[in-house]
Structure 1
Amino acid sequence: MATDDKVPKTSGLQVPTNLDTATTKMLASGNVADDSRVPEVEYNFSKGRHLKNVLVSSLAFTLVFTAFSGLESLQSSINKDQGLGVYGLVFIYSTMIISCLFLAPPVISLLGCKWTITAAMATYTTYTLANFYAVWGTMAPASVILGLGGTLLWSANSMYITETATQYAQITGKNKDVLLPGFFGIFFGIVHTCRVWGNLISSLVLSQRPQNETEISDEVFSRCGATYCTGDENLGNVTNSGLDKPSEEKLQILCGTYLACGLMAVGAVAIFLDDIHRHKSAKSQPKKRFSSALFVATFKHMRKPKQLLLIPITVYCSMQMGFFSSDFTKAFVSCTYGIWNVGYVMMTYGVTSSLNSIVIGRLAKRVRRPFFFTIAMLLHYGLLFTFLFWQPTPDGLLILYVLAGLWGAADAVWTTEINVLYGVLFHDSQEAAFSCYRLWHAFGFILAYVFSVQLCVFMKLYILMGTLALSMLGYLTVELMQRKCQENTLETRKTVEAAIDMLGSNLTL
């Protein structure tokens, strides 16, 4: 396979129409890794405008998830009564599964990516509004609404970035498989900073400690970390002050700031993001209508061998995020050093995740995917064993910053490269593929948050270790299958090119 970014030039002899069509379909199918030569379509956007769209999408997502990630990290602490905050997150991701199966494909087909993203971002503001007065009557409906919109948002955006990279490759003549990791790297590199801004806001608002704060007793302190179980914040007459809920005034300020971020994001997408499908040639413009075929395609896609093998790593990606935002923040940070330190520790996580996403995108030309996944696996295993055997100490806050930073570096690999993998493997069925991705991604979050209120931390760590092992086994199998398909395609291409050259020679004679 050619490693040059440019598409190789062909001979002056034109390939017969039927042969060209067949070859194009073969190269664009999900069974071939090298689909860099996309079908020729007339695009009206310049290179700069495509890059502008990626930037607008990235900044809007940053605003939306500045609010959501900040609230998500605090749910296990600020809304811990009866598990309200964590169960609200379970409602979100349970609804996402329904949205994946029955809502995402037809809505995206009907509205297009831009307006699906706009409408879906609006659903995130309802969740912020519910946190102004967090009770079951407000949190449960808002969580369901956000769940319906969450799948639409991510599925539409993954398709939008993939289509943008495809059009950019057609315009510039570059390799789409090289551009796609770069585009996703830029996107996630910017979006992952939301964890910095969201947690910075929460830290500044919640930074003032309670006036009646007392030192955490050794008895309570010993129950933090891997040994923490739900309910350990209260032991007899002893209460862990680090887990006390902030004042209502502080929560109102916090939610008001997050609401403003969400509204700005909706406006930015509606005004500045281009609807790329409208600027294709009339022949290639998709028909936007509801169709039962889209539902069937989603179910059929789940049965593909490569999709089945990618289920564990897709689930693990969200499970590790759910564990970190819920269990790590509560058992290792709030429990030991107070809720006011959650934001600062999570900022470190956000910075390393963002920077590493950009680095991954830059290195995609020179470094193969298996290398990134292997490094992330080794890093997470090291951290999981550290969480399991390390007991937090009163002077160990700096260690938590280091651990959070390393976790963020590995998280960048999972989130960035898995999206790239789906975009490369399933280019011919993007809507169904990314709907399946969000389905299993949501399922992983459900597991993580249900475990959060039902199991002790050390049990969750063992579950993550086992899931990670199964994930890497499935992923490496997919890579081997992909390499074999690629080798077969190269052989077919050489045969076709030889036949064309022979035909050209005969015509010349």
Structure 2
Amino acid sequence: MENSLKNVLVVALGFLLLFTAYGGLQSLQSSLYSEEGLGVTALSTLYGSVLLSSMFLPPILIARLGCKWTIAGSMCGYVAFSLGNFYASWYTLIPTSILLGLSAAPLWSAQCTYLTVLGNRHAGRAGQQAKDVVNQYFGIFFLIFQSSGVWGNLISALVFGQSPSRVPTPMGPFAVTSRLLCLHRDHPGGGAPVLRGQRLPDGLRGHPVATNSTHRPSQELIFTLLGIYTGSGVLAVLLIAVFLEPLHSVQQQSDRKRLAFWSTLLATFRLLKDRRLQLLVLLPLYSGLQQGFLSGEYTRSYTSCVLGIHFVGYVMICFSATNSLCSLLYGRLSKFTGRIALYSLGSVIQLACITALLLWRPRSDQLALFFVFPGLWGMADAVWQTQNNALYGVLFEKDKEAAFANYRLWEALGFVVAFGYSTFLCVSVKLYILLGVLGLTMAAYGLVEHMESKNMARPQTEGQTSPTDRAEAQTQL
């Protein structure tokens, strides 16, 4: 097997094991720890820490440890979060959420840097276009990585499916009432229906109606699930530490950067002077918002509330499976279609999903629809995951660590906002926010593509600068 591809697979398998645990836990936080908003508060704290760590830690840790050991060390923070869930409380979940958040930005920045360097190296040796090889590597990575959601959620569904506390799902009009009450609870102050046109029957206002979301699995089953997740995380750390090859050339370049500590520290902010990055920050911001909605709102206010918590895993499997398959597909298609067509596809799919969720009146006898939405959402999310990372790697090839640190910073901000307003905004308002941000994001992305096309079309004669040189000069403005 070609050496670069072997390293791509090692990174991908390590992330598969790690996020089999974390992905399953994230999907369950808002449903499993709903008391006093502990679950969404932990997630909001987690991504707030990602936001802070993205500003400073990735360039520094990659410079000192290299990509390999930054990945391995950062994975330990995820294992700590799994351990914190064994005795979930404000005193265990919040500190471990902070630790995981501080680890996440260096982890993802090192992974993106590692794959970009491998892709550029292989392209140089094989005489191929660097952007095509980088796209292919990210496609392979996300094919394997996104399948972690399948395994993580399948494990949780199978474990919680043994719960004796599960009760039959209500059918017919009572299911609708249960659904309305559940979404009604998510409305600020509980004073008005959440979705436009939905009203609670007068005879049922003020009367408690049991919903599936109130039935918590036994502590024994929770411990079983957490034990499986923790073991998976430990295996991920060992796999990276033993089998992943370090990038010596990147390490040597990083060693030279150590001489300018403050320059390295502020690299993330200096790159924001690039006008292209100023426009592209909306891409990761929207990516965080839409992922936060699916894992925080859809799992709680749609799936868990109407069908029960034991269905959360199965529904998220559908998202992860389509995300994984489409990631590989998009990585290969981009060579023929270009990234503009894929971004257009992703935005149209998600626009349709958001509009449909605003109009949908879900009932428990509409079981297939609960799986259709996350499936389509996964098709769109695969565009953001593969193309965003490849786009940042190609446009900012000279400043990969700072560029990917910026990417994680703005994506984390999207998660923070999504989980932060989770407890005091209506579901419909959150959907309208997604619509607005999606429109702005695509407009900003289109402007960047227009700028790049003008740079590429400009004739290069002796004495004229290349697009890359102009981009570098632009960062100095």
Partner of 2:120: 166
Structure 1 residues 383 and 172: alpha-carbon distance in aligned structure 2, compared to 1, 3 A threshold: same
In structure 2, distance between residues paired with 1:227 and 1:474: 36
Give the CA deviation at 1:399.
1.0
Q: Does 1:213 align with 2:184?
A: no
**In structure 2, what residue type is equivalent to 1:201?**
I
Partner of 1:275: 246
Asked if structure 1 preserves the Cα contact closer than 8 Å seen for 2:165 and 2:217, the reply is no
* Conserved 8 A contact 2:186-2:424: no
Change (3 A) 1:414 1:496: closer
Report the Cα offset of residue 231 of structure 1: 8.5
Aligned-partner Cα distance in 2 for 1:495–1:433: 26
Aligned counterpart for 1:111 among listed residues 65, 73, 89: 65
1:424 aligns with 2:394: yes
Q: Distance in 1 between matches of 2:163 and 2:66?
A: 47
| 8 Å CA contact 1:111, 1:288 repeated in 2 | no
CA–CA separation in structure 2 for the residues paired with 1:496 and 1:324: 45
1:223 Cα shift? 3.4
Give the whole-Å Cα distance in 1 for the aligned partners of 2:86 and 2:357: 34
1:445-460 paired onto structure 2 within 5 Å: 445-460=415-430
1:209-257 Cα distance to aligned partner (Å, 9 max, x none):
5457255444322335699537979964333233322110110000000
1:492 partner SS: coil
Which stretch has the larger CA shift, 381-390 or 98-107? 98-107
| Superposition deviation, residue 287 in structure 1 | 3.0
Q: Tell me what 1:261 maps to.
A: 232
Tell me which amino acid in the other structure corresponds to 2:209: V
Q: CA, structure 1 residues 468+86, in 2 after alignment: closer, same or farther (shift >3 Å)?
A: same
1:322 is aligned to 2:292: yes
Partner of residue 79 from structure 1, selected from 30, 33, 47 = 33
> 1:63 and 1:297 mapped to 2: Cα distance?
31
SS of 1:222's equivalent in the other structure is helix
Deviations 1:135-189 (A, max 9, x none): 0100111001001100010011100000010111122121101111101010011
Distance in 2, Cα, partners of 1:418 & 1:226: 36
* 1:437 to partner: Cα distance: 0.7
Give the secondary-structure state (helix, strand or coil) at the position aligned to 1:74: helix
Q: Is the 8 A contact 2:284 2:411 kept in 1?
A: yes
Give the counterpart letter for 1:137 in structure 2: Y
Q: Name the structure 2 match of 1:60.
A: 14
Matched, 1:144 2:98: yes
Q: Which aligned pairs between 1:320-469 and structure 2 lie closer than 5 A?
A: 320-469=290-439
The equivalent residue for 1:184 is 138
Which residue of the partner structure matches residue 14 of structure 1? none
Distance 1:309 1:279, change over 3 A: closer
**Residue among 457, 460, 464 paired with 1:487:** 457
Closer/same/farther in 2, CA of residues 323 and 458 from structure 1, 3 Å limit? same
Q: Secondary structure at the match of 1:237?
A: coil
| 8 Å CA contact retained: 2:26, 2:295 | yes
The separation in 2 between residues aligned to 1:342 and 1:235, in whole angstroms, is 28
Paired residue type of 1:391: R
Preserved contact between residue 80 and residue 100 of structure 2 (Cα < 8 Å):
yes
CA contact (8 A) 1:54 1:187 kept: yes
Q: Distance in 1 between matches of 2:187 and 2:216?
A: 18
CA shift in 2, pair 1:475/1:279, >3 Å:
closer
Structure 2 length-normalised TM? 0.89
Q: In the alignment, what sits opposite 1:33? A: none
Distance across 2 between alignment mates of 1:99 and 1:259: 24
User: Does the aligned pair in 2 maintain the 1:298–1:432 contact within 8 Å?
Assistant: yes
Shift of 1:495: 8.2
How much is the aligned-residue C-alpha RMSD, in angstroms? 2.3
The aligned counterpart of 1:222 is 180
Whose Rg is larger?
1
Deviation at 1:263, TM superposition (A): 0.2
Matches of 1:211 and 1:295, distance apart in 2: 51
C-alpha distance in 2, partners of 1:56/1:496? Answer: 39
Distance 1:210 1:235 in 2: 29
SS of aligned partner of 1:364: helix
Secondary structure of 1:208's aligned partner = coil
Question: What runs of 5+ residues in structure 2 fail to find an aligned partner?
Answer: 195-204, 467-477
Structure 1 residues 256 and 484, CA gap change in structure 2 (3 angstroms): same
Which residue matches 1:28?
A: none
Return the alpha-carbon distance in structure 2 between the equivalents of residues 54 and 397 of structure 1. 38
* Cα distance change on mapping 1:335 and 1:212 into 2, 3 Å: closer
Q: Residue 240 of structure 1 is aligned with which of 189, 194, 211?
A: 211
Distance 1:225 1:84 in 2: 18
1:69 to 18, 23, 29: 23
- Give the distance between the partners of 1:257 and 1:122, measured in 2 at CA: 16
User: Is the CA contact (8 Å cut-off) linking 1:165 and 1:183 kept in structure 2?
Assistant: yes
Identity %: 40
Greater shift, 55-64 or 240-249, is seen at: 240-249
> CA separation in 1, counterparts of 2:23 and 2:34?
17
CA contact (8 A) 2:59 2:264 kept: yes
Instruction: For 2:102 and 2:404, locate their aligned partners in 1 and report how far apart those are by CA, in whole Å.
Output: 15
Measured at CA, do residues 225 and 237 of structure 1 come closer, stay the same or move farther in structure 2, by a change above 3 Å? closer
- 1:278 Cα offset (Å): 5.2
- Following the alignment from structure 1 to structure 2, what is the Cα–Cα distance between the partners of residues 327 and 108? 34
Q: Distance in 2 between matches of 1:226 and 1:193?
A: 34
Answer 1 or 2: which has greater helix percent: 2
SS of 2:461's equivalent? helix
Letter in 1 for 2:330: I
Q: Is the 8 A contact 1:90 1:449 kept in 2?
A: yes
> What SS does structure 1 have at the residue aligned with 2:336?
coil
Q: Does 1:95 align with 2:95?
A: no
CA distance in 1, matches of 2:362, 2:449: 39
1:383 is aligned with what amino acid? Answer: C
The 8 Å contact of residues 314 and 440 in structure 1, kept in 2 or not, is answered as yes
Distance 1:279 1:108, change over 3 A: closer
Cα 1:163–1:252 change in 2 (3 A) is: same
Give the whole-Å Cα distance in 2 for the aligned partners of 1:169 and 1:481: 25
Aligned residues: 448
For residue 307 of structure 1, give the secondary structure of its aligned residue in structure 2.
Answer: helix
